Amino acid sequence: MAESDAATTGQTAAQEIDTTVPSIARAYDYILGGKDNYAADRAVGDQIINNLPGAPVIATDNRATLIRVVRQLVTEHRIKQFVDLGSGLPTAENVHQIAQRHDPEAKVVYVDNDPIVLAHGRALLEENENTTVLQADLRDGKEIYDNPATRALIDFGKPVAIILSAILHHLNDDEDPASLVQYWVDKIPSGSYVFISHFRSLNDPRSVEIENVLQASFGRGRWRTDDEILALFDGLELVEPGIVACAEWRPDEPLDDELTDWQRLIVAGLAIKP
């Protein structure tokens, strides 16, 4: 894990970044083995890893699945537009890099409420006119949908992929994640896709512990049951193989080994709007 402090950030956003308060984006970056994190983030990351030693596996399985999904969306479903909500800090492979590798004209809007994501995203995207990063709260779908920067890239009259990767479990029940998904389902045309990956509870006592750590650190975090996760896809048709452990979502190579208990604690599903 990285011991260094976060890499240099852009001037404006850096002024807003409070490095003494842990952030979900930076703690996740730490768990993924990144360098864009501070002591407060590493303290929460270590607490999560102590309670759930499989946290790095969960994070890397999630990220690898996102890569496979985006590749499939571009190459098999011919999707050319992506809105990635709760996109996180740039890491080894990001949605725009995967999509634009297969279709250089693919458009990507990244949305995250953490200013550090904006700072790093801007630096990464300086010369990419098909990609933008917005600092916005995904609980305010209208602000994102109406934002001129979104509209400059995304034509909501044509199929779009809405990416909700490892983000809805950071919303509490009273924030109604299902309504948030529904907002976007109502905005996108038939033939569009929604991808969701989510912590799965399986009644594992360790997930209850982690829920407590997440609530204490960030005031949010929910591990949901299979039924609760399925309900998030209301009105959509799941694409094969349905909602499965991330590692089982169309792996590039056949899986030789049984999944570990950790790997069963994060699931993914891709669905089409009929």
Residue numbers of the site for ligand SAM (CB under 6 A)? Answer: 24-25, 28, 62-63, 66, 86-88, 111-114, 117, 137-139, 165-167, 170
Give the Å distances, CA to CA, from 115 to 19, 54, 56, 74, 104.
11, 28, 24, 29, 27
Nearer to ligand SAM, 87 or 100 (CB): 87
Nearest distance from residue 167's CB to ligand SAM, in Å? Answer: 5
Q: Pick between residue 123 and residue 191 the one whose CB is nearest to ligand SAM.
A: 123
Residue nearest to ligand SAM as judged by C-beta position: 88
- Kindly tell me which of 170 and 273 has the beta carbon lying closer to ligand SAM: 170
**Token pair of 189 as six digits:** 């045309």
Q: Supply the minimum distance, in Å, between the C-beta of residue 108 and ligand SAM.
A: 12
- For ligand SAM, the closer CB: 68 or 139: 139
CB of 61 to ligand SAM, least distance (A): 11
Cα 130 to Cα 106: distance, rounded to the nearest angstrom? 7
Candidates 186, 103, 110; CA nearest to 142 is: 186
Euclidean distance between the first and the last CA atom of the chain, given in angstroms as a whole number: 43
Shortest approach of ligand SAM to residue 244 CB, angstroms?
16
- Tokens at 7, concatenated: 């890499």
Q: From CA 207, how far away is CA 222, in angstroms rounded?
A: 9
Please, which residue, 191 or 206, has the CB nearer to ligand SAM?
206
Minimum CB separation of residue 83 from ligand SAM in Å reads: 12
Place of tokens 């109502």: 186
Structure tokens at 194: 């929604």
Q: How far apart are CA 107 and CA 100, in angstroms?
A: 8
